[in-house]
Amino acid sequence: MEINKAEPRKLNYRFYYKWYALILLVLWLMSVGVVAYLFLNNEFSRLKEEIYSFGSFVVLLPALYLWWLHPKLTRTIQVFPNSIKITNSHYSWEIDYNQIEKISTPFLSYICLKMRDGQRWWLSASIERIEYIWEGLSKACPEQMNGFASYDEFRVKLVQYDHHEKRKEWFFRHRLLDFVNWIVMPSAVMFIAFKIQSSDVYIYSKPLYFFRLIMYALFTTIMSAFVWSIIMKVFVFDKQVIENLKDEIKIRDVSKEDFILQRSKFFQLITCALLMAFMIKMDLNFFSITKLKASVEGFNLKMGQTLVVDTRFNCVQCAHSVADGDLILFGKGTVAQILALPGEVIAQTQSNSLGRSIASDTITTVPEGHVALKTGKGQEIVIVKISDLVGKLKNK
């Protein structure tokens, strides 16, 4: 009788982690480029916060890669009769079954191995064929499995997650449909949104406007793809795995899964189109959120307070005109109150209180294309260009 002496199969981490590494690299290069551009153009004093923000990404992204991604890109796992061996390009670790103090499954597909020396090993469906590890643990440590309601129940869950993670590598499998989903539809939305919204909203900064639209389109597409993938997993593919495992069949029906995923992407396209149409109809891309970095006592605003800003209100004599008394954001996040519109008169009394009394020492007519604002900082009056208005505070 021939004895098979071949080593157990090497279990790798998922291929899509290489995509994540590429994304981190692109983000890091963009951050380096932005910081270099701001420094070369002597913008440090004016845009100090932006430089610090992008500079932090220059440091944090490599740290995230080294802590999270690098181990997954370099490690392989083998399940032996007496141990689990984890190997990378320089080192290897042996998880001796006899040294395992406790096996737990805290959530989803995660397996936590607590060793007698206090060390913990976390294993999940980010590893290919994670059920091999679970099967090896059950054979070598049957006494540790007594606390589980059903060994088979969690094994089925691991197979389901393994198949689900493998399908993530099919993200752009249907090239034409994916091109429509991720390129054509968002581009059409931006064109249609601009044609509709620019008719009654003044768009002073087109790059910022299109950037926000791109972010909305990207977020909507990602969330739609995520939701439909979960729906397919829970209501279609997971049930199929349960039926197959009754006959101990773990092989995926690739052609059937491909057909179902293709149809789900049509639903994803329809979902994205409806959500983006709702966004354009409700002008949701014109709303933003800001957090106060300092208190504005004159308007009873506290440091750290979150404010909703309606950026449609950035003009006068238009569909969304600002009016006297409106609290608005202007410049680089400064809060002020509309005091006077173009052509109106503002005055300052001898008692140094602000108002519109004609019997005052200082009388000024607001020029065209400008508005007079009262800031909360010392109740000071400033006259700014209308194009500097960011938007109206909605929660005041």
DSSP letter string over 128-181?
TTTHHHHHHHHHH-GGGGGGSS-HHHHHHHHHHHHHHHHHGGGTT-SHHHHHII
Taking only the tens place, the pLDDT of each residue in 137-181 is 988 888 777 555 578 888 899 999 999 999 988 888 899 999 999
Q: Which two tokens stand for residue 208?
A: 């910022």
At 358, is the pLDDT very low, low, confident or very high (cuts 50, 70, 90)?
very low
State how far the Cα of 201 lies from the Cα of 176, in Å rounded to an integer. 35
**pLDDT confidence of residue 353:** 47
pLDDT at 149: 55
Q: Is residue 44 scored above 90 in pLDDT?
A: no
Percentage with pLDDT > 70 across the chain: 91
Least confident piece of the model among 18-22, 146-150, 194-198: 146-150
**The pLDDT value given to residue 289:** 86
CB 188 within 8 A of CB 280: no
Q: What is the DSSP string of 227-267?
A: HHHHHHIIIIIHHHHHHHHTTT-----HHHHHHHHHHHHHH
Q: Which amino acid is at 166?
A: K
- 356 pLDDT band, cuts 50/70/90, is very low
Residue 89: band (very low, low, confident or very high) from pLDDT cuts 50, 70, 90: confident
Domains of the chain and CATH, by start: 171-282 (no CATH), 287-393 (2.10.109)
User: 7-21, 187-201, 291-305: which has the minimum mean pLDDT?
Assistant: 291-305
pLDDT in tens, 221-238: 999 999 999 999 999 999
pLDDT for residue 357: 38
What does the pLDDT read at residue 317?
A: 87
Residue 257 banded pLDDT, cuts 50, 70, 90: very high
- Residue 378 falls in which region: left (phi positive, over 0), alpha (psi -120 to 50) or beta: left
Q: pLDDT, tens digit, for every residue of 323-346? A: 988 999 988 778 889 989 998 888
DSSP state of 14: P
What is the residue whose two structure tokens read 């399940």?
A: 79
Question: If you average pLDDT over residues 353-374, what whole number do you get?
Answer: 69
227 compared with 7, residue with greater pLDDT: 227
For 282-322, the pLDDT digits (tens) are: 999 999 888 887 788 778 888 888 889 999 999 998 889 99
CA-closest candidate to residue 266, choices 191, 180, 173:
180
Mean pLDDT, range 367-377, rounded to an integer: 85
Helix (H) or strand (E) holding 113: strand 111-115
The mean per-residue pLDDT over the stretch 210-217 comes to 89
Q: Give residue 355's pLDDT.
A: 42
What percent of the chain shows pLDDT beyond 90? Answer: 51
Cα 109 from Cα 165, distance rounded (Å): 11
Instruction: Report the pLDDT value the prediction gives residue 361, as an integer from 0 to 100.
Output: 56
Q: What are the beta bridge partners of residue 93?
A: 86
Mean pLDDT of the chain: 87
C-alpha triplet 69, 167, 222: angle, nearest 5°? 70
Residue 362, pLDDT above cutoff 70: no
